[in-house]
Structure 1
């Protein structure tokens, strides 16, 4: 599946910081992780820290799937507002899902510091009403977040304009948010080991063609004919999971992003907060450490690569117009444009955990707009399940919920 097109900024900026071999021998190990994007990299990080022998396989060169196309906003907000998620899954589960995403931001910050990644920055977040009709929902959402323990403020339209320089029909300001570089974060995670003598055991350009699950373990065959045997198999293949699961769990769609030319100075907005709105599809903006503005959105409800790519020039034009309408003083000039596949589930929550039709399998599928925080939640749950530890949060994200 072609997951992205165009020139994702992070890939252009960072290139291929590390290289990995292609598997050229048979292997027996405790755990195999299929997928070396952000989800698989975080699972590996947690398992390595527990001393679990694991091998990571990816069909592509590392990081060239959805991870390189990520816009890397880190928010506790899920694509379904908390007030609406409460109606879908109940107050306790909805609040806990939001709180887990909030905790994940802090944990990602700590891991980034440990790994020496400079691209992580804490930010505030502005969620504004794009239309007047959205104001009642926005105020209800504000109350729901406050009740769930989040530090939030409600900004009236005049306050929003005065403080941030753009027009909206009101906004929620959240203290907890961050931004990063998911592509480099993934590469740094994949370099992690408990000590320098440990083998990395990561193989890219290694496509798995057959997988056989049984009660005693899992056997995989690669395109080159090598055999990999393991006790447990973790699927971290993201949107390509449709190739492994016979149950419809996700609708695949397409999204677009444009990043500006470099500015000589930083003539941006207050605190360079993350900005997004209530529209459907929603618009979002962030800045980058090297004096750029990134804008994304204009999603379409299909994932056909040919159709998606044909629209890229048209969508980019409108995203540039969106940026200049919001902040005319920026005179936004595009430099890199890309599009990618993303997915949404019926309740906008990810699928994490065991999948009973496939014995000894675990899935970390961080679908949705905040897939990075979902990926960290998934890594912690899978670690606990493999180690036989109790994790009550697994109930929220299980397949048969």
Structure 2
């Protein structure tokens, strides 16, 4: 129980995935041939499939888990071009023209979603909302003033105000008019039905592990099946195939947290985000006919920082201060990737491989950036001109800030690699309470232990199967998280998020004296 009486003892659950009748799709069990293989069943993959199926192309979606069960199913579901304090920074780092293009790409994505909802009469709780970026300190008030100047320079319609319709004492706020929010799963499920009607193939529990390059390329699955195609779209959050792009060194993973709460005070219209740290993001949501609020924030690098349960408690405390909370029926977390210059990588995975395209690094703004990626993919495959292609090209390397961030992020990886190898504990796994996990030491070797609610122990090797960093226990989500590149594993060792492709090694505690892995045959 938290200090305010709310319980975070249950496993996190996203509201977006509740009360939804999800269709089931088969696992790929044979070699197939299509025009476009789309790896990843989130917003980018599904909209790409919808757009290309509309153009008469034969497509196949390969989803390692179930559709919309990744970042798309755990989003805040704001559709906006107001992406925190970003436009002043973009003007400095990438120039006015590209900063304006970034804004236009995200507004076009919003317009596409709005138009598609209207065209197909989709009931997905879509509503237009003004977006507010607010400050609570003098330091960030000045930054918002600079951001307002950037809006003016880039011809972005904005308004600087001194109050917002919430019980938060602010210094100032910057409004971007006519943004939106929606229920992403309801929206995408309608597109899935259209994809099916147009002959699109969808496979779940089908993990793509590699690409045989060439003309044409072939996607290889973990089960040994082949998808021959003309184009591959890697829409799998972290690229399942990196080629020579070195994306592990050019991306870092951040986690953030969401509580869906019933407030005592009414929530006004609008979508809100603080410029100050720690971030606080707010929007309304209707759950079973009751108006509730999503309280979001507490961003940190995956596998690093304090106990994750404290992030949920911090959001609850903030909600109590602002609204007073009656209950918290849902809470969950999300993970997103950030590029060196904060602009997503969308396009050819590396120079010279035009048939393999990636979309990654949406920096928590995947509803608009992910849609923009799908629109760009369509134009690249159909060889149409698209003015956003150079903006997003993955091969770019802008010295400022990319070089500095490249060095900082990779120094961080090296530090965590060494730190993890040196960390040992004296915890006896038998002393763990039910629903508790911890790093343990067995015969001088670092292992991870979790005792489930029935008292059964689950022991795994804590060495991440990506590049060998040591994972840390995430007590908020009951997972093992890698602090180097953001791979996440279930308490039984299965991969939840890449770039790792192989599970953690598992051990039978009853036979631990032999330290024999499950893979070795016991």
* TM-score of the superposed pair, with normalisation by structure 2: 0.68
Q: Quote how far apart the aligned CAs of 1:252 are.
A: 0.7
2:319 corresponding residue in structure 1: 323
Q: Secondary structure at the match of 1:287?
A: strand
CA distance in 2, matches of 1:268, 1:344: 34
Structure of greater relative contact order (alpha carbons < 8 Å, 6+ residues apart): 1
Whether the aligned pair in 2 keeps the contact of 1:366 and 1:372 (CA below 8 Å) is: no
Whether the aligned pair in 2 keeps the contact of 1:80 and 1:348 (CA below 8 Å) is: no
1:134-213 equivalent positions in 2, closer than 5 A: 134-156=140-162, 159-160=163-164, 163-193=165-195, 196=197, 198-213=198-213
CA distance in 2, matches of 1:333, 1:169: 30
Q: Deviation per CA, 1:1-58, whole angstroms, max 9, x where unpaired?
A: xxxx7211211342x4221111122211111111111110111111112111111111
Q: Does 1:387 align with 2:382?
A: yes
1:217 corresponding residue in structure 2: 216
1:313 corresponding residue in structure 2: 309
CA distance in 2, matches of 1:208, 1:242: 9
1:399 corresponding residue in structure 2: 394
Whether the aligned pair in 1 keeps the contact of 2:267 and 2:284 (CA below 8 Å) is: no
2:360 corresponding residue in structure 1: 365
Q: Secondary structure at the match of 1:176?
A: strand
CA distance in 1, matches of 2:212, 2:278: 40
* TM-score of the superposed pair, with normalisation by structure 1: 0.88
Q: Secondary structure at the match of 2:35?
A: strand
Whether the aligned pair in 2 keeps the contact of 1:7 and 1:336 (CA below 8 Å) is: yes
Worse overlay, 290-299 or 351-360: 351-360
Q: Quote how far apart the aligned CAs of 1:164 are.
A: 3.4
Q: Quote how far apart the aligned CAs of 1:165 are.
A: 3.3
Runs of 4+ in 1 over 4 A off after TM superposition: 240-245
Count of aligned pairs between the two proteins:
379
Q: Secondary structure at the match of 2:179?
A: strand
1:6 corresponding residue in structure 2: 12
Q: Deviation per CA, 1:310-366, whole angstroms, max 9, x where unpaired?
A: 8332111110111222x24x3353222212221111221111111226452011225
Q: Does 1:123 align with 2:129?
A: yes
1:282 corresponding residue in structure 2: 279
Q: Deviation per CA, 1:287-332, whole angstroms, max 9, x where unpaired?
A: 102311110111112x23xx68x8332111110111222x24x335
The one of 37, 59, 63 equivalent to 2:68 is: 63
Q: Quote how far apart the aligned CAs of 1:243 are.
A: 6.1
The unaligned stretches of length 5 or more in structure 1 are none
2:512 corresponding residue in structure 1: none
Whether the aligned pair in 2 keeps the contact of 1:126 and 1:273 (CA below 8 Å) is: yes
Q: Quote how far apart the aligned CAs of 1:382 are.
A: 1.1
Q: Does 1:347 align with 2:341?
A: yes
2:266 corresponding residue in structure 1: 268
1:77 corresponding residue in structure 2: 82
Q: Secondary structure at the match of 1:333?
A: strand
The unaligned stretches of length 5 or more in structure 2 are 1-10, 397-522
User: Could you say if the C-alpha distance between residues 210 and 339 of structure 1 is closer, same or farther in structure 2, counting changes exceeding 3 Å?
Assistant: same
CA distance in 2, matches of 1:242, 1:169: 46
| CA RMSD of superposed structures (Å) | 2.2
Structure with bigger gyration radius = 2
CA distance in 2, matches of 1:208, 1:253: 24
Q: Does 1:376 align with 2:371?
A: yes
CA distance in 2, matches of 1:321, 1:175: 29
User: Could you say if the C-alpha distance between residues 64 and 73 of structure 1 is closer, same or farther in structure 2, counting changes exceeding 3 Å?
Assistant: same
